[in-house]
Amino acid sequence: MGRGGKKGTVTPRELNPSPRLKRGPKMGKRRKMKRKKKKTDMEELKKEVVLDDHKLTLEELSTKYSVDLMMGLSPERAQEILKKNGPNALTPPPTTPEWVKFCRQLFGGFSILLWIGAILCFLAYGIQVHYKEDSTKDNLYLGMVLAIVVMITGCFSYYQEAKSSKIMESFRNMVPQQALVIRAGEKMQINVEDVVVGDLVEVKGGDRIPADLRLISTQGCKVDNSSLTGESEPQTRSPDFTHENPLETRNICFFSTNCVEGTARGIVIATGDSTVMGRIATLTSGLVVGKTPIAAEIEHFIQLITGVAVFLGVSFFVLSLILGYGWLEAVIFLIGIIVANVPEGLLATVTVCLTLTAKRMARKNCLVKNLEAVETLGSTSTICSDKTGTLTQNRMTVAHMWFDKTIYEADTSEEQTGKTFAKGSTTWFILARIAALCNRADFKPNQETLPIAKRATTGDASESALLKFIEQSYSSVKEMREQNPKVAEIPFNSTNKYQMSIHLQEDGSQAHVLMMKGAPERILEFCSTYLLKGKEYPMDDEMKKNFQNAYLELGGLGERVLGFCFLNLPSTFSKGFRFNTDEINFPMENLCFVGLISMIDPPRAAVPDAVGKCRSAGIKVIMVTGDHPITAKAIAKGVGIISEGTETTEDMAARLQVPVSQTNPREAKAIVVHGSDLKDMTSEQLDEILKNHTEIVFARTSPQQKLIIVEGCQRQGAVVAVTGDGVNDSPALKKADIGIAMGISGSDVSKQAADMILLDDNFASIVTGVEEGRLIFDNLKKSIAYTLTSNIPEITPFLLFIILSIPLPLGTITILCIDLGTDMVPAISLAYESAESDIMKRAPRNPKIDNLVNNRLIGMAYGQIGMIQALAGFFTYFVILAENGFKPIDLLGIRLNWEDRFFNDLEDSYGQQWTLDE
């Protein structure tokens, strides 16, 4: 009160302000500037990476960074740069101390209502003790119980969520410890933190890249960019500028990605927070996350209950003053009514209900890190799903073959049950042998008991797919390789676009056979004949046309197509001949074309059904992937994200035989948006796409674009769930209303940024989660309605006690026994209620309209069921007292005599006298 009283008056200090006070506005301005700067920094981080180092020639690069490309920086110069730019490390964000987190659980949301109740109880008890010598201790007990309830549930919630956000730590685990740099012509191992911009760095297979590098020389270097771009295949690196986009060009290596094979040298162009990975880390940890829907609901509920409590309290405070009670008693009544409105057991009920659902979801492979996220999934109206590993199996699988001028379908199911093809054809035997022998993949040892599809392999994804396919459909690859040992090989590289191997023929008359696989158009250039039903025919225009049609058809399905050919080498190349693959001493033309094999990362079996369920539940599923548009569109059609018969603008243009620019995009329900187009779009254009198209695929997206898509959906008022597994998904996972990471294939960073983890990496588990989320919302509604019904029968005895001056029908201790005893178990049991039959046929709830506690629920709990309970209670009260001699009419106005301990001759309706003890 004191502080409030000072507000209006002017103190001498205000009339003559001191210099310290004068600095106040400046400090405020500085703080405002800081906040503004942080906001602009975040906006800056959301933009695409702007780099031009990949376009520079080596001379320009050397000039820009003042570095000798052979000798590297001098140690002195490196020290200068280190002092200026700071260490090559990720800056940790300001962390929230554990005690603050604990206090938030203890004093946040619903707890604050109970704390206010407890404080009011202690206040009422203090007033009673001060003014009455013989006051009861009811209010003291009530206050203590309320405080204990809040503390226990607060500790419980804190324990549940203590395992969460360690985002920055997981980013730090990705950073390598040591780096090999060349300074003043000498190679030296240094700590990664000491690497500076302009350093000449050398990396080899197995190393983690120590900073963003612009490559100046490479030897067979491949990097795994999957954590950053989502591309599952290792990417070839070379010193050449191959793409405008720095994320796509081959001459840049990114901080904390892995070098899989080969060696490379490069100049450091960015360190620490300035690297692409550093930007993502800063963006992820700096994103402000909004309230969960359930937190907003509980806040709304608290406002409602507080409103009702204060209204009733003030009304009866005024009424009791009118009825002639003293102000002290009136204040006690006011506090009593407000406290009676606080549902003591509800906080514990809500916490237990959410925990039970979280446990149930964990059994169904959905691990929830944040209790409130349990319900968020039920409110979800848009799911932005990553493709690789979530919608698909994350393993390349042979999908189609083309030989004997026919396309055959292979079996891509996870269980390998089903489709067969022309396994009797001689062409197939030869195709299978080339696929098995001209192949560097192999099974890892000691896996004989596992099904072939589940066995781990060494080698890249495409070769492993061929290996498994031949092992399943033809015969043991190991035996074939033992019978036909490899004598020479040219590995696949991005320049040649083919792989060639020469094998000894154990069974044939000619000693060696040359086998080749690679990009179909390259393979065809080497061939002068083709194989049809086991016989060789000269290559003609008709065959080339057939080949072109098959290649386009399989490529159009988003599949990766490889061509296969062979050549039986003449007898002059007998056993023991030394083949030289550097200066080629054997024929490599006039080969015989055998066929094509195409591979795809196939959709998971349960996904189409899950997408269908999402659609019937009114949830929009959007695919957001780093993969190519053709592959993304093929998978989207395969899983039903683009439904059958729905056209994109490209499909419309093809059907109408007009250019794409002449079609009306609004007429197409489906759309495939390329990352490069998204880069140039304004927020309004993105909003229009999200509004006008029901089926959307975003392909070739960068981490920042994934975040922009999520924000776009949230601007439409959608509750957004995001699934992802890579570091590139982490900003979007953090910003989403609920982030869902993959438990098996997910990176540590994505798991830390997410609210929920799918333990089986399966999109179908999300649908289970949505169902559970909707169910808990329905059941919480029932629990709250059940709990609130007892408020009226608890308040009305107190009101009649004031108005009619009757003996108090229900004491504080009894109310506590009801709220924390008999009411809690049935309220919690409602969490086990099974779902309504239409739960997944309803549209997602609108958080603005469909509240957890709305006027209708309050009306029913207070106005109908509460009143019935209160009447039943009063009926019992009056009957019991009547049986003991006090008729209802005689109870009116006897409160003061009833409570007076010195009044020992209270008369009942039959003239009997009662003492207080009786």
Q: CA–CA separation, 699 vs 701, rounded Å?
A: 5
- Type of residue numbered 678: L
Let me know: does 83 contact 91? Beta carbons within 8 Å: no
- For the chain, percent helix, then strand, then coil, each to nearest 5? 50, 15, 35
- Provide the 3-class DSSP secondary structure of residue 238: coil
How many C-beta atoms surround the C-beta of residue 299 within 10 A?
Answer: 15
Provide the pairing of β-strand 527-532 with 535-538.
Answer: antiparallel
Residue 538: beta bridge partners?
Answer: 529
Spatial neighbors of 628 by CB under 8 A, at least 6 apart, are 558, 699, 700
Residues 6+ apart with CB under 8 A from 644: 637
Task: Report the distance separating Cα 123 and Cα 628, nearest Å.
Answer: 67
Residue 731 tokens, joined: 């900003």
* Maximal CA-CA distance, the chain: 134
| Nearby residues of 152 by Cβ (< 8 Å), 6 or more positions away | 348
Name residue, tokens 């604050």.
112
> H/E element holding 673?
strand 670-674
The span from the CA of 348 to the CA of 802, in Å, is 31
d(CA 299, CA 844): 21
DSSP assignment of 171-214, as one string? HHHTS-SEEEEEETTEEEEEEGGG--TT-EEEEETTPBP-SEEE
Picking from 252, 229, 255, 253, the residue whose alpha carbon sits closest to that of residue 241 is 252
Distance of alpha carbon 522 from alpha carbon 516, whole angstroms: 10
- Helices (H), ranges, 438-567: 461-473, 477-483, 520-526, 541-556
CA-wise closest residue to 291 among 613, 650, 738: 738
First to last CA, the chain: 45
Q: What phi and psi, each to the nearest 5 degrees, are found at residue 349?
A: -60, -50
Rounded to whole angstroms, the Cα distance separating 359 from 356 reads 5
**CB hemisphere CA count around 200 (13 angstroms):** 24
Of 53, 207, 212, 386, catalytic: 386
Rounded-to-10 torsion of CA 593, 595, 601, 604: -170
- The amino acid at residue 83 is K
| The pair of three-digit structure tokens given for residue 822, joined into one six-digit string | 């008999």
* 900 noted as active-site residue: no
Instruction: Output the CA angle 890-895-898, nearest 5 degrees.
Output: 90
* 912 CB-near residues (< 8 Å, 6+ apart): 885
Helix (H) or strand (E) holding 12: helix 12-15
User: Please, what sign has the CA dihedral across residues 879, 881, 887, 893?
Assistant: negative
Hey, what's the torsion of the CAs at 454, 458, 464, 468, to 10 degrees? -50
Q: In whole angstroms, what is the distance from residue 366 CA to residue 301 CA?
A: 28
Could you give the residue ranges of the DSSP H alpha helices within 47-137?
58-64, 75-85, 98-107, 110-131
In the numeric block, which tokens belong to residue 116?
A: 């206010």
Helices (H) and strands (E) in the chain, counts: 36, 28
Give the distance from CA 863 to its chain's centroid.
42
Side chain identity, residue 57: T
List, by residue number, the catalytic residues: 386
